Every structure is written in C-alpha cells, then in structure tokens.
Amino acid sequence: MKILAIETSCDETSAAVIEDGRKVLSNIISSQIEFHKKYGGIVPEVASRKHIEVISPVVKEALEKAKAEFKDIDAVAVTYGPGLVGSLLVGICYAKAVAYALGKPLVGVNHLEGHLYANFLDHSDPPKFPFITLIVSGGHTHLVLVKDHGKYEILGRTRDDAAGEAYDKVARFLGLGFPGGPIIDKLAKEGNPKAIDFPRAMMSEEYGYDFSFSGIKTAVVNYVKKTRSSDLRTQITDIVASFQDAVVDTLVIKTIKAAKDKKIKTIVLAGGVSANSELRKRLKEGSIKEGFTVHIPPISLCTDNAAMIGCAGYYRMKNGHKSDMSMSAVAGAKL
C-alpha cells in the first residue's frame, strides 16, 4: 500500500511516498529558510506563497524518486494542524484535490503525532507500547504517555515558550541568525556549559511535568545586559553552552522522572529539537543508566518532513480514521 504524504504546516514544503506504513520510498523537503532569515523568523504570508509555488514540483519529485505515478497511490495523508493556517491550507487543498481526482481515501494527520511517528519509520524497530514521549519543537514541548496507537495522555507541557522557541529567541537576541537551534547546538560545543548558572525552571514537585522556558530567555538577556560588551565577544560560546545545559537538563530530568513515576521502560524523543546533539546524548545516557530503552529519530527525520506524516496517516487509517472533503486547517490542533 502506497501513501502520498504532504506536510506544509510551517516553512517546509514536503512530500513523501511511504509503502506499507514504514518504508520511505521518497521524502522530499523544500525549505524556505532563506526567504525568512532576513526577518529573524517565519513570515506567515511569505510561507503560504512559497508553499503554493513549490507544492506541485515537490510532489512530482517525491513520486519520481519513489518510481511511482499518481495512479499507484492508494491514499493521501496530510497535516491538518497545528501550524500556520495559510500554510496548512495549501497542503490540505492539494491533498484533497489529489484524493478526489484519484478517488482514494484522504487522512488528516496531527503534526505532533507526525513527529512521534518519525520513530516508527523503517530505520529501526518501532517503539513498544506503552512509552513516554518528549515532543520538542519550535511550537510545542509536550511530555506524553502513549498507551497505544492514537491513545495519548498528556502529562505535561510548556506553560509559555516551547524549547525550540527559546533557542530561536536567544539566538536572535544574540544576533546569531535563524533558526537558532542548530546554530546554538554548534556554537555550544566550543563553550563551557557550567560557566553560567542559568535557572532550571519549575523543577519542584508542585509543577509536575510542566515546563517553562521564557524565564531562561530573560535570564540570558539580563546576563548579557550586565556584561561589558568587550567581555561579551569571548563569552558567547559560554552563554549558549550554559543556556543549552539548562534547557537540556530540564527536558531530560523531567522525562526520566515521568518514566520512573509511571513505571514505563521506553522513552521516545520527537520534534525538531530532538536534532540537538546534547539532548540526544544526555537522554540516551540518562535512559541507559535507568535501564530504559530509548528511541531517537535520525537527524534527517527530526525536523518537519512528510515521511512522518505518511507513517502516522497509515496507522490512523488502520485504526479506521478517514477524513472527508470538509476537512480544514486547525491552527491550534491538540494532540
């Protein structure tokens, strides 16, 4: 069974062909970063226009790479939210048109669920239920107990900024560029993560598994403001390494605690921030120490891509879900 999957929730136009749920026949990603960089963030109107320009060639390339034609497609999966509404609509309209023209089923996929399913693609054995997943992206930071396909219990979430958002905002404040995550990840390797003791927010019992990342962003701003600019240049690597240390500490400590409290032995990482080298390393080390199994997607499947949407769509269809032509974009869709 071949699924054509489409993802346009933010600034990547992506199309993939997935066979039998897990096999990636193609996964084409066209990034718009170059068009947004100069604004220091994603400009929604620019994003929708760029999606419209490239969606057809991206789908064509995905089919070609998979050595398939439209007539070989058995179903169409598409992200319906959360994301930028104008961007989502481009993918949804395209997916609807293809499904309608081919007379094949259409399935809408939640973007966060998509990230999780990056772990079910054919690069490794899929995680066994139940497991704890940490979904960390530019817009979300969720700690979730996954009982089965589609059965989620949200244990905690960020109360303000998402982890990726904190990376992006700190990088922008320091004038490092956009998106901040990969830039800080690289620079932090040259700095001392213990140089500055930035706060680890909401670590006490009363906050449970919730996160907060806006305080650390303010702490970085305050630190920079009170440091002489002549000293600052040499300190940037220490600042970003210490910032990253605090963010990763919080994410890893809470994830391991959730697994221990819930007596779950498998941990699954997902979302754009799961590309972070320090988070990957520390979550692996922490999990091994506790005797847990840990699943982390390959870097290429961490950030937005359509392969993960095709995989999630396959399992949704297996569970009897199907969307119809009334499906629309849901900017604030919940997991």
- Residue numbers of the site for Zn ion (CB under 5 A)? 137, 304
245 is a contact residue toward ligand KG4 (CB under 6 A)? no
* Rounded-to-integer distance, Cα 295 and Cα 284, Å: 9
Told to check if 304 binds ligand KG4 by CB under 6 A, we report yes
Residue with tokens 């973007």: 111
Q: Is 271 in the site for ligand KG4 (CB under 6 A)?
A: yes
Q: Quick one: tokens of 60?
A: 């064509």
Residue 113 binding: pick among ligand KG4, Zn ion, none (C-beta 5-8 Å cut-off by kind): none
Residues 6+ apart with CB under 8 A from 46: 32, 35, 36
Residue 7 in contact with ligand KG4, rule: CB under 6 A = no
Which among ligand KG4, Zn ion, none contacts residue 266 (Cβ within 5 to 8 A by kind)? none
Burial (0-12, 13-18, 19+ Cβ within 10 Å), 324:
exposed
Nearest CA among 82, 123, 157, 50 for reference residue 302: 123
Looking only at Cα atoms, what is the longest distance across the chain? 65
Rounded alpha-carbon distances, angstroms, from residue 210 to 219, 223, 239, 246, 259: 19, 25, 25, 15, 14
Q: Which stretch binds ligand KG4 (CB under 6 A): 53-61, 146-154, 181-189, 224-232?
A: 181-189
Instruction: Give the residue with the Cβ less far from Zn ion, 220 or 307.
Output: 307
Residue 276: CB minimum distance to ligand KG4, A: 3
Our CB check for Zn ion shows the closer of 21 and 272 to be 272
Q: Which of 297, 311, 308 is nearest to 20 (CA)?
A: 311
Which CB sits closer to ligand KG4, 10 or 146?
10
Give CA–CA dist 245/252, Å, rounded.
10
105 binds ligand KG4 (CB under 6 A): no
Contacting ligand KG4 within 8-47 (CB under 6 A): 10
The verdict on 181 binding ligand KG4 (CB under 6 A) reads: yes
| Footprint on this chain of ligand KG4 (rule: CB under 6 A) | 10, 137-139, 164, 167-168, 179-182, 185, 271-273, 275-276, 303-304
